[in-house]
Structure 1
Amino acid sequence: MAESTIEQAIFLGIDTGGTYTDAVLWSEQRGVIAKAKALTTRHDLSVGISGAVERIVTEASVRPADIRLVSMSTTLATNALVEGHGGRIALVMVGFSKADLEKADLGTALGSDPVVFIPGGHDVYGRAQPFDPAALIEALPRLQQDVTGFAVCAYFAVRNPEHEIAIRDLVRKETRLPVTCSHELSAKLNGPRRALTTVLNARLIAMIDRLVAATEGFLDRRGIHAPLMVVRGDGALVSAAFARHRPIETILSGPAASLVGARHMTGLDNAIVSDIGGTTTDVAVLDKGRPRLDPNGATVGGFRTMVEAVAMRTFGLGGDSEVSLDDNAMAPSIKLGPRRLVPLSLLATNHGAAVIDHLARQVKAANAGRLDGRFALLTGVPAQMASGLSKGEAELYERVTVEPRPLDRLLNSVSQAATINRLVARGLVHLSGFTPSDACHVLGLQNNWNAEAARYGAVLYARRKDGAGRPLCDTPEEVSHRTFDALIRRSSEVVLETVFAEDGLEGPETVASSLVQQALSGKSGIAGVRLDIDRPVIGLGASAPVYYPAVGDMLGTECIVPVDTDVANALGAVVGQVRVSVEAHISQPVEGLFRVMAGEVVRDFQIEEESIAFAESVLKQQAGLLALEAGTDEAQITIARDISAATVEDQRKFIEAVLIATASGRPRIAH
C-alpha cells in the first residue's frame, strides 16, 4: 500500500482495563481524532467496548470502512495474575518428580489444581527417555469434568518437544479442552519455571478468548472489517489469533502500550513512566527512547515467568484498591490493595437505590458492624469456570446474584468470610467496598460516579475502631483525606522502589529505610534528607491528574501528565509494530556431531558450518511463518548468532551455538 494511503488510514485503538475500556481514533496524518471511555463490563466485555467505540465513531463521523486497523491492549491478564484469578487447570509433568513442584514457586501457583506425573522427557541433546502416558489416560475422564484446560511441561522439551506434542494431541482428542505446551512459550531451560509459565498461560486462555471473541463480535456487527491486533508484554503487536494461543504474552500488555504511548505523547527519551489504573500501578524506566526488556522474564503477582516483557514493576495499587487497616497498631495506619474492589460510588451508579438503602441502614445502626459497607455480586463468567467448588463454596455461590447483596445479610457465619474470599480469588464473585476512588468523590476531586454512596462508605469506614476502641476518624472527610494521602505516599514509594531496583539496590528494603521514609515525610532534624531523581515522572491513567502532581511534589521532581494521558494505552496500541522471534540451539552430543534443535526440527550434521547454515535457513522460514501468523506481510528478518567455543592445545573446540531470528514489520491493514 502506498505510503500516503497509510498516513491517511484511520486506526482504532482499544484498551480494556479492570475498570474502564478506552478507545481512540488515530491517524499518522491527524494524530488523535477522537477518544472516549466506558466502564469495563466483565460479564460481557463487548458492552464496554461498544460503548467506548460507538462514542468516538459518532463524534468523529467516521465510516466503519474508513477504519483500516484495530489494535488493543489489555490489563485483564495482568490483573488476573495480581488478584489470583483464572480457570482451574490440570498440569501434566512429563519426566519430572513431585520435588520439582517446590521449585520456582510452581506448587504455590498450582494451588489445589490437579497435577499428573508421567515418565518421559528428553536429555539435553534431545534424546528420548521411556515414555508412558497411562496414568494420564486413566485420569482424563475425571479431569475433563473438573478443569477448564491443560498445561503440559516435559523435561528438556525445548530440545525436543515430541512428548509434549503427543500429550497435547491425546488431550485434545479426548477432551476438546485447550492445551498449552511449554515449548510453545519459551525456548529457555529451567523446567519448573517453564511449567509455571505454562500453568499461568492455561489459566488465562478462557479470559483472553472471551475478550477477543467479544471484540471481534462487536467489530463484525458494526461493519468494521479490519485486522485485529493485540499488544504483547514487550510492546510489540501480534494478531488476535496469535494472542489467543499465548495469552501469557499479554501480561503487561497494558503497561507496555502505555510506555509506547508515553514516548509518543511526550517525545521524552528519558523518564520514569508510572501508569495508575483501577487495580494496579505499573512503573518502568524509559531510557534513550526505549523501554528496557527484563532479561529474566516478567514478574507479576509475585511469580517470575519466562515471558519477555518490558522491565515493568507492577504493584497492586490503584484507584479501586481495597482500603484496610493495620490492625496490629494502637493507631492503625491505612493500607491499600493489592485486591481490587468495586468502588461503592460505582456500584450505586450501576445498581441504583438498593445500594444506597443498605448503606443508609448500616449508618443508622447503633453499633458498627465488621461487614458494613461491603457487598458481593457475581462477575458473570461462564458456568464452567465454577468447576471444582467445595460443598460450602458451591452453596454460598448459589446465593450470590448479579445484583449486589450486602455481606451482613449474605454471610451466615464468620467462616463464610473465608469462603467468599475464595470465590473472589477464583474470579467468580466481585466484592465492593470503600476505595480511594470513593475518597476522591467525598473530597470533590472526582465526580463521575455516585457521591452519596461514597460518602456513606466513608462514614462507615470512619466508625471502625482503633486499638484503644476509639473510632478511626471523626468525619468522612478526615478518613477520605487519610486514604488520599495514603495513595500519594504509596505511589511515591512504588516509583522509588523501581528507581532503586534499576540502580541495583533492593527496592522495597531501601524504600522502607528510615532515611528514605524521613525524606518522603518532609521531616528534618539537624540533618535533612532530600531525594533527587535524574529524570521527570510521566503520570499516566485517567486518575493521574488527580494524584500525580502531589506525587511529583513528594519526590521533588517534575511530573508531566500529558493531555491524552487518559487514553495512553489505547494510543500506544496503534503506534507499535509487529515483532516475533524464534530460537535454535546447536549442541555436540559426541565429538564431530552437530545437532540442530529448532522447535520441532531436530537434525544432525558432521560439519559445523553446515549445521549453522541449516539452522539459519530453518529459523528464517519459521520466523517468516510466525510473522505472518502474528499479523505482518512485510517482515524484515535479522539473525543473531552466539557461538561458544574454547581453545584447547591450540585447537578450537565447539561447545554450543544459539541463534535467534527476529522478524518485525508494520501490521497488516485492510485495503
Structure 2
Amino acid sequence: MTDQLLLGIDTGGTYTDAVLYSETAGVVARAKALTTRYDLAVGISGAVEAVLEEAGAAISSIALVSLSTTLATNALVEGQGGRAGLVMVGFGPEDLKRDGLADALGNDPVLFLPGGHDVHGNERTLDMTALDEALPELSRTVSSFAVAGYFAVRNPAHEERVRERIRAVSQLPVTCSHELTSKLGGPRRALTTLLNARLVSMIDRLIGACEDYLDRRGIHVPMMVVRGDGALIAAAEARLRPIETILSGPAASLVGARHLTGLDDAVVSDIGGTTTDVAVLDGGRPKLDAEGAVVGGYRTMVEAVAMRTYGLGGDSEVRIGDRGLKASLDLGPRRFLPLSLASAQHPGAIVPVLERQLRSPHAGRHDGRFAVRTGVPERLASGLLAQEQALYERIGAVPLPLDGLLMSTLQRATLDRLVARGLVHICAITPSDALHVLGGQEQWDAEAARLGLELAARMKDGSGRPIADGAEGLARRIVDRLTRQSSDVILAACLADDGIGAAGPANALFVDHALHRLPGIVQFRVSLDRPLVGLGASAPVYYPDIAGMLGARSVIPEDAGVANAVGAVVGQVRAAVTVFVTMPEEGIFFVGGAGDSVRLTEEEAAFSLARERALSAALHAARANGADEPVVTLAEEVDAPEIEGRRKLIEARFTATASGRPRIASDA
C-alpha cells in the first residue's frame, strides 16, 4: 500500500481498539485486543500488530498516530486514581465545603498556606512554612500534588513558587490550577486541579506505553491525544494536563459517529465495558457543556462535549437485592472483571472454585466472587493503611476466591478501598457473562459464566424462592435490565438536554408506563425526534431493543465497535487562549493572561495588547499541539455598564481560537 495511513488507537477499560485510516479510502482495517492494566503496552501492541497484519501495511506508510482513551473517565466514575496532596494558597478550610471539593478530597491530605492575590492580581504575603514542614513526610505518601491559589488566574506567581518548592523536595508531578483554566471560582478550580493530579500517573503510563511500543516498532511520527471536546492535542501536552482527556473516548466516539453515519442530528450512545456515554449531535456538531464536564458526580472546569456518562456497561457489577418478596436487579456503577474473562486469562483458577461452591448445599455470601491485583506499578500503592497493606499482600496475580480471603465485614470495607485505589479487581458475574450464557458473546470462557450465573440464581428472595430459574433465566433478566437501564439513561440525558431533567424515568410513573407499553385507558408513548446511533462492540446486541423501547430508529454503523479509534484520527487540533483586562482603579488597566501581568493607563492600548497576546498565544499553542497551518478567530466580551452616567469597565475578555488538521510525518 502506498497511501499514507493514520493510526487511531482507543484504550478502553476492557478493550484496546486500533484502526488504520486513509483520507481517501476511509477505514482500511480494524482490530481489538484486551486492555492490559498491568502493562498497557501489551494491549496496544496486540491491537496495532493485528491491524497492521489485516491491512498488510508497512510501518513506513503510517504518517500519524492518534490516541483516545476512557481510562481517565472510568477512573473518575469508579472513584479511582492516585493519592494526591492538595495545597490551597490563600484559601481556608471553609472553602472545602463548596463545589463538592471535600467529597472529592476524601482522605487525601490538604495544606492551607497564607498568600494568594486579589481580583486585580495584587499579591498577599505568601508563607510556605507549613509546606516546608510537611513536605518530607507528605512526599512519601502521595503520588502527585495539586496547587490552587486564590485568584491565581489573575496572577499565578504564588502557584508557581509553591510548585517549584514541591518539585525541589519531592520530584513528584505538580499541577497548578492556572495551567488548566482561566475561569474564576477557586474551589471548583481546586477540584479540577486535584482530579488532574490524581490522573497524572495513569495518563503518563498510557502515553509512555504507547510511545515505547511505537519506538520499538520504528514508528517515528507525530502522536496526538483526543481531548474531551473532541479536539486533538500533542501527547506531551496531554501528559501535563490529563484532566483534559476526561471524556476523550466519548468525544472521539461522537466525532467517529458523525463521520461514520453522516448524520447531522442524532442521539449517540456508546456502551463500553465500564460506562455508557450519551450525547446529542445537532446540525452536525456536538454540543459543548458551557459549565464544564461532569464526570463521576463532580463538575469540573474542563471544556468538553455535553456528554453524560453513566456507570453502566458490559462489565458492570450485577447488584441483587434479595430483601423484598421479589428480588431486584441493578447494574453498576462499578466495573467488575467478568468471570468468563478472568477464567480465560487464568485457566484453572475460576471454574474449580465455582464447582466447589455449587456443590455446597447452602449459598455463601461471597460465592462467585474473586479478587486479583490489577498489576499497576508498586509505587502506586503508596500510603496504604496497615490493614490495607496486609490484605493487599495476600492478593496476588491469580484470582483468589473471596470466601477464603475475607474473614470479617471490616475486611470487605478494606477490599473496597483497594478497589477504589485501582489496585485490585473484583471478578464476578456481569452482563458480558450473561451474553456468554445466551450465546451473544463467545470470545471468553462460557462455562465459567454459566457456573457463576447458576450460583447467583440459587440465591433466595424474601419469599424463600430462588431469584431466577437457572443460569439462562438469570442471564435473560440481566440483559433485560441492561436494556431498561440503558433506555433510562438515554432518556434522562435527552430530557436534561431539553431542559426538563426533573421528569426522568426513575421518578415519573408515566414515563415508566410509556417505556413498557403498559395497558391502560390512557396510553403513553415515548419517542425521540432523531435516530439513536448505537456504538460499542455489543451495540448490535442491545441497541435495536433499546431503540424500540425509546421509539427511535436504530442506526448501528459498520465500524460501531471502533468508532472511538476512527474519531481519534479524523479530528482537528484546536487551542483557545483568553486574555482579560480589568480596571482596579480609575485610569489604570490591568492586562492578565498569556504572559506577565501588565498595567497601562489607556483602555484602548490595554485592549490592543490583549488582542495581540490572545491571537499570538493561540497560534503558538495550536502549532505546539501539532496543527498544520492553523486558522485563528477572535471573540470579545466587554462588561462595562454605565454607573451614575459614567461608563465603568468591570472586565473585558479576549478569546482567540486557533484550529487546523494535525501535521503528519511527511510535513514534519
Query: Normalising by the residue count of structure 2, what TM-score does the alignment of the two structures yield?
Result: 0.98
- Give the counterpart letter for 1:88 in structure 2: R
The corresponding residue for 2:137 is 142
Superimposed CA distance per residue, residues 9-36 of structure 1 (whole angstroms, 9 cap, x where no aligned partner): 2100000000000000001111111000
Q: 1:58 aligns with which of 12, 35, 53?
A: 53
Inter-partner Cα distance in structure 2 for 1:251 and 1:225: 26
Structure 1 residue 378 corresponds to structure 2 residue 373: yes
Contact 1:183 1:599 in 2 (8 A): no
Please tell me whether the aligned partners of residues 271 and 537 of structure 1 are also in contact (alpha carbons under 8 angstroms).
yes
Query: What's the counterpart of residue 464 of structure 2?
Result: 469
How far is the alpha carbon of 1:473 from its aligned partner?
A: 1.2
Match of 1:180 in 2: 175
Over residues 452-496 of structure 1, what are the superposed CA-to-partner deviations in whole Å (9 max), with x where a residue is unaligned? Answer: 000001101101121223221121111110000000000001110
The aligned counterpart of 2:350 is 355
- State which of 543, 546, 557 in structure 2 corresponds to 1:551: 546
Identity over the aligned pairs, expressed in percent? 58
Alpha-carbon contact 2:349-2:398 (below 8 Å) kept: no
How many angstroms does 1:392 deviate by? 0.7
| Superposition deviation, residue 328 in structure 1 | 4.5
Per the TM alignment, residue 176 of structure 1 is displaced from its structure 2 partner at its CA by 0.6
| Equivalent residue in structure 2 for 1:321, among 300, 303, 316 | 316
Q: Residue 429 in 1 paired to residue 421 in 2?
A: no
- C-alpha offsets along residues 388-418 of structure 1, whole Å, 9 cap, x if unaligned? 1111111000000011111111112222111
Matched, 1:624 2:619: yes
Please give the alpha-carbon distance, in whole angstroms, between the structure 2 residues aligned to 1:426 and 1:314. 20
The answer to whether the 8 Å contact 1:159/1:599 transfers is: no
Deviations along 1:580-614, one digit per CA (max 9) or x if unpaired, are 11111110000111110114421111111110111
Structure-2 residue corresponding to 1:205: 200
SS state of the match for residue 267, structure 2?
strand
SS in 2 for 1:601: coil
Deviation of residue 648 (structure 1)?
4.6
**Worse-matched range after superposition: 312-321 or 7-16:** 7-16
3-state SS of the aligned residue for 1:196?
helix
Equivalent residue, structure 2, for 1:614:
609
Residue 243 of structure 2 is matched in structure 1 by 248
The unaligned stretches of length 5 or more in structure 1 are: none
* Superimposed CA distance per residue, residues 259-281 of structure 1 (whole angstroms, 9 cap, x where no aligned partner): 00000011000000000000000
User: Does the 8 A contact of 1:160 with 1:600 survive in 2?
Assistant: no
Task: Measure how far apart 1:509 and its partner are.
Answer: 3.9
Verify the 8 A CA contact 2:339 2:433 in the aligned structure 1: yes
CA contact (8 A) 1:27 1:33 kept: yes
Q: Which residue of 2 aligns with 1:45?
A: 40
Match of 2:656 in 1: 661
| Structure 2 Cα separation of the partners of residues 542 and 627 of structure 1 | 34
Instruction: Give the number of aligned pairs.
Output: 666
Alignment-derived partner of residue 154 in structure 1: 149
CA 1:294–1:54 in structure 2 vs 1: closer, same or farther (change >3 Å)? same
Once the two structures are overlaid, the 10-residue window that deviates more, 637-646 or 263-272, is 637-646
- 1:662 deviation in Å? 0.8
Query: What whole-Å deviation, never above 9, does each CA across 1:216-248 have from its counterpart, x for those lacking one?
Result: 011111111111100000000001101000000
Q: Counterparts of 1:456 and 1:140 in 2: how far apart (Å)? A: 51
2:488–2:505: 8 Å Cα contact kept in structure 1?
no
Matched position secondary structure for 2:650? strand
Q: Are the equivalent residues in 2 in contact too, given 1:257–1:569 (CA < 8 A)?
A: yes
Alignment correspondent of 1:283 = 278
Matches within 5 A, 1:437-586: 437-506=432-501, 509-586=504-581
Which residue of the partner structure matches residue 166 of structure 1? 161
- Shift of residue 651 of structure 1? 4.4
User: Are residues 1:264 and 2:266 paired?
Assistant: no
Instruction: Give the SS at the match of 2:188.
Output: helix
Q: Report SS of the residue matched to 2:291.
A: coil
The code of the aligned residue for 1:62 comes to A
Distance 1:93 1:660, change over 3 A: same
1:569 Cα deviation from its structure 2 partner: 0.2
Could you list the runs of 4 or more consecutive aligned residues of structure 1 that deviate by over 2 angstroms after TM superposition?
326-330, 507-512, 646-655
Answer yes or no: is 1:597 the counterpart of 2:601: no
Query: Quick one: distance in 2 between partners of 1:599 and 1:460?
Result: 61
Tell me whether 510-519 or 42-51 shows the greater mean CA deviation.
510-519
C-alpha change, 1:507 and 1:310, in structure 2 (3 Å) is farther
Contact 1:499 1:507 in 2 (8 A): no
* Code of the aligned partner of 1:434: I
Residue of structure 1 aligned with 2:28, choices 24, 33, 37 = 33
Following the alignment from structure 2 to structure 1, what is the Cα–Cα distance between the partners of residues 601 and 572? 39
Which letter does structure 1 place at the counterpart of 2:15? Y
SS in 1 for 2:641: strand
SS in 2 for 1:504: coil
1:164 alignment partner AA: E
**TM norm structure 1:** 0.98
- Name the SS for the 1:664 alignment partner: strand
Which 10-residue stretch deviates more, 508-517 or 452-461?
508-517
Aligned-partner SS, 2:138:
helix
Residue 382 (structure 2) aligns with: 387
How many angstroms apart in 1 are the aligned matches of 2:650 and 2:13?
48
2:201 corresponds to 1:218: no
Task: Work out whether residues 491 and 504 of structure 2, in 8 Å CA contact, stay in contact via their aligned partners in 1.
Answer: no
Q: Which residue of 1 aligns with 2:639?
A: 644
Are 2:92 and 1:93 aligned?
A: no
Find the counterpart in structure 1 of residue 225 from structure 2.
Answer: 230
C-alpha deviation, 1:446, in angstroms: 1.1
Paired with 2:208 and 2:643, the residues of 1 have a C-alpha distance of 58
Q: Is the 8 A contact 1:158 1:599 kept in 2?
A: no
> How many angstroms apart in 2 are the aligned matches of 1:111 and 1:647?
46
SS in 1 for 2:66: strand
CA distance in 1, matches of 2:219, 2:249: 23
Give the match's secondary structure for 1:476. Answer: helix
Deviation at 1:650, TM superposition (A): 5.3
Q: Which moved more, 1:409-418 or 1:92-101?
A: 409-418
- Is the 8 Å Cα contact of residues 73 and 246 (structure 2) preserved in structure 1? yes
Partner SS state of residue 46, structure 1: helix
Distance in 2 separating the partners of 1:557 and 1:509: 18
State the AA in 1 paired with 2:104: A
Aligned counterpart, 1:302? 297
3-state SS in 1 of match to 2:140: helix
Residue 120 (structure 1) aligned with residue 115 (structure 2): yes
Displacement of 1:64 after TM fit? 0.7
Matched, 1:368 2:363: yes
Unaligned 5+ segments in structure 2 are none
Question: In structure 2, what is the Cα distance between the partners aligned to 1:249 and 1:95?
Answer: 26
SS of residue matched to 1:415: helix
- Cα separation, 1, equivalents of 2:173 and 2:429: 38
> 8 Å contact 2:289–2:303 — kept in the other structure?
yes
The superposition leaves residues 502-541 of structure 1 with CA deviations (integer Å, 9 ceiling, x where unpaired) of 1101257454210001111110211110002110100000
Stretch moving more, 661-670 or 237-246: 661-670
